[in-house]
Amino acid sequence: MQSLEPAQGREFLTKVCDYLVSLPFDLKILQEAVANTELDRATREVAAAVLVNALTPQEGPSPERYLDDLFLLRMALAKVGTSTEPAHQEFRTRFDDVFSALTHDLELFERALGPALWACLQGRLGSLSRMALKGKRPTQYVDDEDSWDTLYEDGLDFQTHYDVTEERVQNRLRRPEQVMEYLQRRCAEDSKK
């Protein structure tokens, strides 16, 4: 397990807690990316894959079951963040508050989680294209303009039923090690599949 300096551990835990609470709203950025035909197809497919993963009902205690979603979401946003294409730059400008912190967040997360957990999450990001939501894979959501409304409605439903509050997160996640332990269990389960 990665050893963190106390200040780094507090910053990591604060970011994780904040992003767990804001997850339904942050997912809307990915919905916008899927529907933005000016963005390159690979970026839109990654956005759709993370959306499908997040919107698919998941097992496990709340809020822990959403931990990997918050990291995967930021990895997907990094795909938009690294391109110099004008459409990507315009998209980043629309969500400047998120993208301005993204590089620092990803560096903090990678440092805090360590190489093994970070690699596991990156591997999951690459394998999400095989998932399906309501019988459609992420590429089908990108191709079918009519399905964008379905993704939007599913996102609203997710937001309505999302049971993660700031108080609940603070009661459940008190130490950075809890985040890492949960993610290690998820990675171990994934490696058995």
Residues 144-190: tens digit of each pLDDT: 998 999 999 999 999 999 999 999 999 999 999 999 999 999 888 87
| Cα(73)–Cα(34) distance, integer angstroms | 13
The answer to whether the beta carbons of residues 108 and 8 sit under 8 Å apart is yes
Q: What is the mean pLDDT of the chain?
A: 92
Structure confidence at residue 27 (pLDDT): 96
pTM score of the predicted model = 0.92
Within the chain, residue ranges assigned H as helices are: 6-35, 41-55, 67-81, 86-94, 96-127, 138-143, 147-161, 166-172, 176-192
Per-residue pLDDT at 1: 47
| 133 phi and psi angles, rounded to 5 deg | -130, 120
Q: Which residues of the chain have pLDDT under 70?
A: 1-3, 193
C-alpha–C-alpha distance, residues 29 and 152, integer Å: 11
Give the C-alpha separation, 93 to 173, whole Å. 32
pLDDT of res. 34: 95
How much is the pLDDT for 102?
95
Give the pLDDT confidence score for residue 189 in this predicted structure.
85
What φ, ψ does residue 136 adopt, rounded to 5°? -120, 140
pLDDT on residue 76: 95
pLDDT given for residue 57 in this prediction: 87
Burial of 109 (0-12, 13-18, 19+ CB in 10 A): buried
Cis before 63? omega within 30:
yes
Contact 4, 112 (CB under 8 A): yes
